[in-house]
Amino acid sequence: MKIKVMVLAVSLVSFSGVASGFDFGKLLEERINQELNKDKQTQPAPAQTSPSPDASQSAAAPPPSAKQKIDAGQLGFALFGDYSPEEETRIGKQIAGNLLGAVPLVRDDKLQRYVNLVGNWVALQSGRKDITWHFGVLDTEDINAFAAPGGYIFVTKGLYQRLNSEAELAGVLAHEVAHVTKKHHLKVLKQSSLIGALGQAASSKAKGSDQVVQNLIGNGAEIMARGLDKNAEFEADRVGIVFAARAGYDPWGLPEVLQDLAGLPAKDSRTSLLYKTHPHPADRLAELGDAVGGRLDALHGKDLPGRFYRLR
């Protein structure tokens, strides 16, 4: 990991030399050190909370050339501090819009409204009140679910059709809500992919697309294909099962979906992306079992199979 970051740092330093005169190298080195030490420190470094005056000065100093992809604003957006809720939503919108470019929404307003009601009820238990949640069912046979920053959550038709109750839907959505509240994708963006993305030329110029954000997230919706660290997935299972239980659902919805996926044949093209980006369901069940033990034994939540909106 360290070596990878160093290589990226070195390549970026040389890139910055070509692009313009300002001192990327020192900035980047500081930022990378902060990120690398973040997990080990209990208190964040003071420099993290706001852009340092030196940095913005040196970034603002050179006159930006017309063709230059990396402007000072983008740099500040990318490398300093935590993302504000507005920035997070901006990033989420771009990722969601790109994903919808690959696969559209199912044309069934009753279905979509139902999923939004279940999703919003679950998300209310997450404690995150500074964003607006949007849920959508994607029109593909692929079996998967996605979350983008800013509260954009998707479940594919292929997965939805395997579900048997509202509690199972709630479990799936809760896992995705947990990715958002734990800011898993934002952490990925900040830590590594973003450094590579900085050097990337812009490609799509679609209407309504946010070019600065597009430069951060790389090509199209490829951030969804890269996936997260397996510990982020285990954490989302652990946190999600609790969100669903707090919403009054039977907590076993998500584990039942994982059991169903575990029973699918290994070489199913509908799950290839899911398995590429997630630990095997058997490993997720085992990991969740370690965390749960007998802790949820006393709960008697609702399954609501009767209210579940069936998709033909």
Partner 1 sequence: MKTFLIPATLLVLCVSAASAFAAPGTVLRNDKLYSQPNAASKAAGSVAKGASVNILSKQGGWLRVTSGKSTGWIRLLSVRAGAGGLGGAGLGDVVGAATTRSDPSRVVAVAGLRGLNDEDLKQAKFNADELARLNAWHETPAQARSFAAQGGLSVTNVAALPAPQPAQTPSTWEAN
* Positions 107 through 126 that interact with partner 1 (CB under 8 A): 112-113, 116-118, 120-121, 124-125
Q: Which stretch binds partner 1 (CB under 8 A): 68-76, 78-86, 193-201, 262-270?
A: 262-270
Query: How near is the Cβ of 52 to partner 1 at its closest, in Å?
Result: 24
80: nearest Cα among 24, 39, 8, 31:
31
- Binding of partner 1 at residue 25 (CB under 8 A)? no
- Binding of partner 1 at residue 197 (CB under 8 A)? no
Contacts of 103 (CB under 8 A, 6+ apart): 138, 139, 140, 142, 156
d(CA 171, CA 256): 9
Q: Which stretch binds partner 1 (CB under 8 A): 18-26, 48-56, 70-78, 244-252?
A: 244-252
Q: How far apart are the first and last CA of the chain?
A: 46
Q: Which is nearer to partner 1, 7 or 286 (CB)?
A: 286
Query: How near is the Cβ of 78 to partner 1 at its closest, in Å?
Result: 19
Give the up-direction half-sphere exposure of residue 153: CA atoms within 13 A in the CB hemisphere.
Answer: 28
Pick from 98, 126, 165, 181: which binds partner 1 (CB under 8 A)?
98
Query: How near is the Cβ of 206 to partner 1 at its closest, in Å?
Result: 4
Contacts of 208 (CB under 8 A, 6+ apart): 97
Q: Which stretch binds partner 1 (CB under 8 A): 4-12, 21-29, 73-81, 212-220?
A: 212-220
User: In the block, which residue shows the tokens 């652990």?
Assistant: 238
User: In the block, which residue shows the tokens 């958002």?
Assistant: 180
Query: How near is the Cβ of 266 to partner 1 at its closest, in Å?
Result: 4
d(CA 256, CA 22): 54
Q: Which is nearer to partner 1, 28 or 223 (CB)?
A: 223
Pick from 13, 197, 212, 264: which binds partner 1 (CB under 8 A)?
264
User: 292: which 2 tokens?
Assistant: 């749960």
